[in-house]
Structure 1
Amino acid sequence: MEDIFARLYDMTAFSNIVADPRFLIMYAIAFILLYLGIKKQYEPLLLVPIAFGVLLANFPGGDMGVIQADENGMVMVNGVMKNVWEMPLHEIAHELGLMNFIYYMLIKTGFLPPIIFMGVGALTDFGPMLRNLRLSIFGAAAQLGIFAVLLVAILMGFTPKEAASLGIIGGADGPTAIFTTIKLAPHLLGPIAIAAYSYMALVPVIIPLVVRIWCTKKELSINMKEQEKKYPSKTEIKNLRVLKILFPIVVTTIVALFVPSAVPLIGMLMFGNLVKEIGSNTSRLFDAASNSIMNAATIFLGISVGATMTTDAFLNWTTIGIVIGGFLAFALSISGGILFVKVFNLFTKKKINPLIGATGLSAVPMASRVANEIALKYDPKNHVLQYCMASNISGVIGSAVAAGVLISFLG
């Protein structure tokens, strides 16, 4: 009888959890992420799949955790080292499990990030940026965190490729971070993807924190509509629809000529936007890109990225360094946008609310919504959402171009 009970106990996950209590830490992390996604509603479309993927990956015996290949693509399969890129997909599914099949087919190949960018493009309206082009420069200034943390990470002992993958978290763009890491440091894909998406979800916490450090009440009370009335723009867009159609075509062409390695992201982003702006003639393509394809891609990306967060992959000093460095990159990117606005205001009569600089991230449209809520706290009539979107949208383009530059130089 004792032997039966012993076997039943060994059959459960309890024996493994008792032997390795680190699983409890991972469960706590998964539950916290689920709480933030469900209760706090911090990017639930991303955080809920990621958190559930973390949970699935850390049930011993479930074989749902992603086994990360090393720098040379080698993984341990039944006690034998194999090159995962030489294994057919059916063998990966049979030997490593369902989650590894999804991960190596859709994520590690770099397939899903551009697909998600296509959906983002289809859901994005470039109108606010085109109407306020001068504000788009703050999206470029907000890329400061990427390059600052890159240098710091190199000094801390990361290789240049690893440092670039860490720094790109400052762009606040999960697909861009994944795409860059796949190209430069694929062995760090798990912790970098988790850090990037977690900080994106925590935008409502991080932006107010950084804003309180740098901005005064007077600066946060700058009313953009009043500034527009005092100093009206001299340029007038006569046909916005035509401009919206031409914009993705022109941007893709320019980026392709100067930074070809950014084309997979920028090209798909602009294609998604183009089918949206053309209208009824491409409505079916727009619907697919923005709904079914985007939703399926988000599910597979989130749950498989979460599954990379196993005890061995996450609970180590390298991952802790990535989490700290990612937060620093994020905070510096927000700070860079704010400080550039403050400098800009020194030389112009038409003042700009620093919150517009704070939204030069790629977290669209959450960053803009958060900034708008902060502005309304200081002045209930100060709606800055449309102005923030100009900087926010340009941040999407800026982070993708920055990723392309890093891949070109270091890839």
Structure 2
Amino acid sequence: LAVIAAKLNCAPDVHAIKEALALALPSVQGQMENLAVDMGYTPGVLALFYKVAIGSGVAPLVIFMGVGAMTDFGPLLANPRTLLLGAAAQFGIFATVLGALTLNYFGLISFTLPQAAAIGIIGGADGPTAIYLSGKLAPELLGAIAVAAYSYMALVPLIQPPIMRALTSEKERKIRMVQLRTVSKREKILFPVVLLLLVALLLPDAAPLLGMFCFGNLMRESGVVERLSDTVQNGLINIVTIFLGLSVGAKLVA
């Protein structure tokens, strides 16, 4: 397109060219896949891992079930005001979305709105959520988003300490936090059930992720399936993480 524009003595629209290439890429990939099938090639083991683990969305869901089984909501139920701390973390998501759209607006990097939304979830510092959402909205960015999200999570121990020291005094950092009250077992069991119902009614698109999270937490708090809860927290989540890493790595381009 740029060559044709030069022949016609026209200034090429770089932004339009990038959008055209982005729209044409899925079609070209589909044609190449059909050509490979016609020539007798079959998907390899990594393609199978990707299809089962990420293409179907199973791996992030299973990991969320494991995270739910490892989570103790006792401190949150004892002091609901701490919910605001978690809510404040969501500002990172919107800031990242706006940042991606700003880069697109000034023509520095071309991002569509779904791509910007998939990139924005990196601001939540949650790897499984980033993989699940990018697989739905922007599969072409899945590898880069997954690497960015997990790198961000790995760097948190290096990023947090200087910020904490800058914003708090030594006396404040030595405050010993105690649980305000004892949370009953009934409260801990009802919380994931009520949470799932609210999410299913208000945010049905997020119901699969939060549903698995609440199911894992319910296994932990019910106390009647301790063996299964222990398996989900340790063995199962580690195995799925291995296949998830292989699947994401297969999507990366050097």
Give your verdict on TM over 0.5: yes
Contact 1:146/1:171 (CA < 8 Å) preserved in 2? Answer: yes
Aligned residue for 2:225, secondary structure, equals: helix
Query: Which structure: greater helix fraction?
Result: 2
Contact 1:146/1:169 (CA < 8 Å) preserved in 2? Answer: yes
Query: Residue 162 of structure 1 aligns with which residue?
Result: 115
Query: Residue 198 of structure 1 aligns with which residue?
Result: 151
Q: Runs of 4+ in structure 1 displaced over 6 angstroms?
A: none
Question: Does 2:203 match 1:259?
Answer: yes
**Cα distance in structure 1, aligned partners of 2:171 and 2:116:** 34
Query: Residue 247 of structure 2 aligns with which residue?
Result: 304
User: Which of 276, 279, 290 is the aligned partner of 2:220?
Assistant: 276
Q: How far is the alpha carbon of 1:103 from its aligned partner? A: 1.2
User: Which of 187, 191, 215 is the aligned partner of 1:247?
Assistant: 191
Structure 2 CA distance for partners of 1:74 and 1:245, relative to 1, 3 Å: farther
Query: Residue 57 of structure 2 aligns with which residue?
Result: 110
**Number of residue pairs matched?**
222
**Cα distance in structure 2, aligned partners of 1:166 and 1:261:** 18
Offset from partner CA, 1:204-241 (integer Å, 9 cap, x none): 112124335x514357436254xx7xxx96xx55x521
Question: Does 2:44 match 1:97?
Answer: yes
Query: Residue 181 of structure 1 aligns with which residue?
Result: 134
Gaps in structure 2 of 5+ consecutive residues: 1-23, 105-110
Query: Residue 230 of structure 2 aligns with which residue?
Result: 287
Contact 1:161/1:185 (CA < 8 Å) preserved in 2? Answer: yes
After superposition, residues 104-143 of structure 1 pair within 5 angstroms as 104-143=51-90
Aligned residue for 2:238, secondary structure, equals: helix
Question: Does 2:32 match 1:81?
Answer: yes
TM-score (norm 1): 0.50
TM-score (norm 2): 0.78
Letter in 2 for 1:275: M
RMSD between aligned alpha carbons? 2.6
Gaps in structure 1 of 5+ consecutive residues: 1-69, 312-411
Structure 2 CA distance for partners of 1:141 and 1:285, relative to 1, 3 Å: same
Query: Residue 7 of structure 1 aligns with which residue?
Result: none
Identity within the alignment, %: 48
Aligned residue for 1:223, secondary structure, equals: coil
Offset from partner CA, 1:251-279 (integer Å, 9 cap, x none): 00011111111111111001001011111
User: Which of 201, 204, 217 is the aligned partner of 2:169?
Assistant: 217
Q: How far is the alpha carbon of 1:71 from its aligned partner? A: 6.4
Contact 2:67/2:216 (CA < 8 Å) preserved in 1? Answer: yes
Structure 2 CA distance for partners of 1:103 and 1:211, relative to 1, 3 Å: same
Q: How far is the alpha carbon of 1:309 from its aligned partner? A: 2.7
Structure 2 CA distance for partners of 1:189 and 1:255, relative to 1, 3 Å: same
Structure 2 CA distance for partners of 1:134 and 1:247, relative to 1, 3 Å: same
